[in-house]
Structure 1
Amino acid sequence: MHFQWLTEQLPSDEVLATVVMDASRDTESGDRTVAARWSELRRSLDSQGLSKEMAAVLEEQALQPTRASGSHGRLIVAGESGILMDRLLLFAPRKDEAVLSIGPDVFALAREADDTVRYLLAEIDRTGADVTLYDSTSGAVGGEPHRESVDGEHDVLNKIRGGGLSHRRIESRVEDSWERNAETVASELDRIVLERRPDLLVVTGDVRAVALVQGALGAPAREITEHVPGGARNNGVNGAFETRVDEALEAFRVRRRGGTIDRFRQELGRNAMAVTGTNRVLDALRKAQVEELLISDEVAGPVSSLADVKVWVGDKPLELSMHRDEIRQLSSGDARARRADLALGTAAAVQDAGITIVYHDDDVLTDGIGALLRWDPSKPSGVVEPG
């Protein structure tokens, strides 16, 4: 799962504080509970050397309500210049954590990317559609989804009872109006899909109009379309429909992870373009060979099961090893110890590797970590032969 859309918002060479916390406020004491959670995180950051200025900015942000209901988490990243990111997390974390490091906690960003499905919701009737672009987690705290309406120019919309030539002509004009309006909606959806690159296009509304729109969509939009019945234009809050959308989004997340895991199993079985285990993954990261890093839920954290494991790093993110002497050979600077989860995440990010979190198939991962490779190390040229 690629997450450059998150990492590109953050500097990789500055000291940043990454906070992952339970932001749920569902009880009468919700504000006090969140404040108590923040106090624990503040003490942790103070012990790591957080500046008073950054602490004040973070505290003000962390104590602001998210306006989200139900159990949920929050990811906040801050630097000396202020708050750089504040996003909702679909699920409250098992444990709160705050990390001060050079660059962000990449595994925290990867979990946010794994939760997030950018989807375009089209609520369609025979005159047009209301179109909304969402992040499934509601995106940035306080942010609003992008909305627009699309209306066709054809207004002969209702069939009449009766018979005869006049009746058939009117029916033909009505059908033609439906089709022309559907083509207008489909053309606009095609444009938005190409420009905004959502993961899913969710269509709902009038059954006949939805079918006409789906039939008129271009291939890129049609390939990501999911029909979720029960929604309508101007229908207000519809809990049953929202539940169906949530189910469609979760099914997409499962498919997205599953495709990567299946490919990993296949390559591992062929002893080809996949490796597993800390040492082999470190070696692949060091060579900028990783296309996709796979980590178990426990490794992803918070708190990562690798947090207490130390690796040695040099001046550059890809200078990393389990052995200090190896770093002395690789780097012109001093070797220093770093948390393994932070070092591995940073190395993945700088080589534009994706990260997939493995929830139920982690038996395939040694040490809870594996990697799909960009090229086959068994080939002398370092490239994959065609075919």
Structure 2
Amino acid sequence: MHFQWLTAQLPTDEMLATVVMDASRDTESGDRAVAARWSELRRSLDRQGITREMAAVLEEQALKPTRASGPHGRLIVASAEGIVMDRLLLFPPRKDEAVLSVGPDVFALAREADDTVRYLLAVVDRTGSDITLYDSTSGAVGGQPHRESVEGGHDVLNKIRGGGLSHKRIESRVEDSWERNAEAVAGELDRIVGERRPDLVVITGDLRAVALVQGALGAQAKDITEHVSGGARNNGVNGSFEARVDDAVEAFRVKRRSTAVERFQQELGRGAMAVTGIDRVIDALRKSQVEELVISDAVAGPVSSLAETKVWVGDKPLELSMHRDEIRKLSSGDARARRADLALGTAAAQQDAGITIVYGDAVDLTDGIGALLRWDPAKPSGVVDNG
């Protein structure tokens, strides 16, 4: 699963502090509990060499309430310039963690992206639509969803009883108005999908208007659109409709994950476009060959099961190896040891690879990690298998 919408917000060549913590405040002692968790994270960052200025900015942010209810987590990223990301997590992490490194903790971002479905809700009637772009996790702390309304401008909207030519002409004008308004809504949805790249479009409202809008959508938007019944413009909050939207979002989340896992299993079974095990994954990353990393829940962390494993890296993100001498051949700079989870995550982001997290025993991953490949290593680079 690709998450450029997250990584694009962050510098990759600056020292960043990535904090993943339980931000739940549901008890009377909630504020004290969060403060205690932050104190532990602050001590960890101090040991890693964080500056006082960056630590102070992080502390101020971490102690601010999220205003979210129920158990939840928080992902905060800070640079020397200040806070660059602060997002809610659907669930508290198993363990809080703070990492100081060049570039972000990519596996932490992958965890957030795995939780998140960015969806566009379009509530339509025969005059237009109210459109809202949501993150299923509630998105940035303190942030607001993007909202806009579209009005078609064609106002012959109601059919009349009766007969004769006059009646038929009015009916024809009404149908034409509905279609033109639907085309205006569809055009706006197409534009937003192209610009904002949501994962899913949820459409609801007047059934006739829904059908007309869906029929007028371009291919890109149509492919990701799901109809959920029960919503209406100017109808206020409807709990049963919200539950149906939540179900649609969760179904999309599960399908997205299972699609990548099934493809990985098929390719691994063929012995062609997939590999597993840290050595083979590192080799594929070094060649910019990885389309999608597939990692276990334990590898995703926090704390990653690969955190204690060290790999050798050079001056560039793709200069990595399990062997120091190999880096000396690959890089003009000195070889240095780095946490495997951070090094592999950085290399994946560098080549615009996606990351899918596997839960339970859905697939057997050596070292908890595998990769779907862009091209078959048994064939020359760029050769496409059409069979």
TM range (shorter): over 0.9
Query: In structure 2, what is the Cα distance between the partners aligned to 1:282 and 1:229?
Result: 47
Structure 1 stretch displaced more, 313-322 or 364-373? 313-322
Look up the match of 2:289: 289
- Say whether 1:341 aligns with 2:341: yes
* Cα distance change, pair 178–331 in 1 and its aligned pair in 2 (3 A): closer
Do the aligned partners of 2:299 and 2:305 also contact (CA within 8 Å) in 1? Answer: yes
Look up the match of 2:43: 43
Look up the match of 2:162: 163
Structure 1 stretch displaced more, 140-149 or 294-303? 140-149
Look up the match of 2:127: 127
* Cα distance change, pair 179–357 in 1 and its aligned pair in 2 (3 A): same
Partner amino acid, structure 1, of 2:249: L
Q: Equivalent residue of 1:272, what SS? A: coil
1:19 Cα offset (Å): 0.2
Query: In structure 2, what is the Cα distance between the partners aligned to 1:94 and 1:231?
Result: 36
Q: Equivalent residue of 1:110, what SS? A: helix
Do the aligned partners of 1:159 and 1:171 also contact (CA within 8 Å) in 2? Answer: yes
Query: In structure 1, what is the Cα distance between the partners aligned to 2:34 and 2:370?
Result: 35
Q: Equivalent residue of 1:236, what SS? A: coil
Q: Give the alignment's TM-score, normalised by structure 2.
A: 0.93
1:223 Cα offset (Å): 1.2
Look up the match of 2:80: 80
Structure 1 stretch displaced more, 132-141 or 92-101? 132-141
Look up the match of 2:383: 384
Number of equivalenced pairs = 385
Partner amino acid, structure 2, of 1:59: E
Q: Equivalent residue of 2:34, what SS? A: helix
1:217 Cα offset (Å): 1.8
What are the equivalent positions in structure 2 for 1:256-275 lying under 5 Å apart? 256-275=256-275
Partner amino acid, structure 2, of 1:383: G
Per-residue CA deviations over 1:127-169 (Å, capped at 9, x if unaligned) read: 2110111222222211111111111223233345x53436555
Do the aligned partners of 2:26 and 2:70 also contact (CA within 8 Å) in 1? Answer: yes
Q: Equivalent residue of 1:76, what SS? A: strand
CA RMSD of aligned residues (A): 1.9
Q: Structure 2 stretches of 5 or more lacking a match?
A: none
Look up the match of 1:365: 365
Per-residue CA deviations over 1:266-324 (Å, capped at 9, x if unaligned) read: 21111111110111111111222211111011100111111111222222222222222
1:31 Cα offset (Å): 2.0
Do the aligned partners of 1:311 and 1:320 also contact (CA within 8 Å) in 2? Answer: yes
Q: Equivalent residue of 1:189, what SS? A: helix
Q: Equivalent residue of 1:371, what SS? A: strand
Query: In structure 2, what is the Cα distance between the partners aligned to 1:174 and 1:329?
Result: 73
1:177 Cα offset (Å): 2.9
Look up the match of 1:23: 23
Look up the match of 2:229: 229
Partner amino acid, structure 2, of 1:269: G
Do the aligned partners of 1:362 and 1:368 also contact (CA within 8 Å) in 2? Answer: no
* Cα distance change, pair 368–207 in 1 and its aligned pair in 2 (3 A): same
Query: In structure 2, what is the Cα distance between the partners aligned to 1:210 and 1:361?
Result: 40
Do the aligned partners of 2:229 and 2:241 also contact (CA within 8 Å) in 1? Answer: yes
Query: In structure 2, what is the Cα distance between the partners aligned to 1:210 and 1:385?
Result: 40
Per-residue CA deviations over 1:245-269 (Å, capped at 9, x if unaligned) read: 1111111122212222122112111
Per-residue CA deviations over 1:344-365 (Å, capped at 9, x if unaligned) read: 1111111221111112454331
Q: Equivalent residue of 2:232, what SS? A: coil
Q: Equivalent residue of 1:237, what SS? A: coil
1:172 Cα offset (Å): 4.3
Q: Give the alignment's TM-score, normalised by structure 1.
A: 0.93
Per-residue CA deviations over 1:19-72 (Å, capped at 9, x if unaligned) read: 011112223332222222211111111121111111110000111122222222
Partner amino acid, structure 2, of 1:190: D
What are the equivalent positions in structure 2 for 1:1-387 lying under 5 Å apart? 1-160=1-160, 162-165=161-164, 170-379=170-379, 381-387=380-386
Query: In structure 2, what is the Cα distance between the partners aligned to 1:195 and 1:338?
Result: 37
Structure 1 stretch displaced more, 162-171 or 339-348? 162-171
* Cα distance change, pair 101–132 in 1 and its aligned pair in 2 (3 A): same
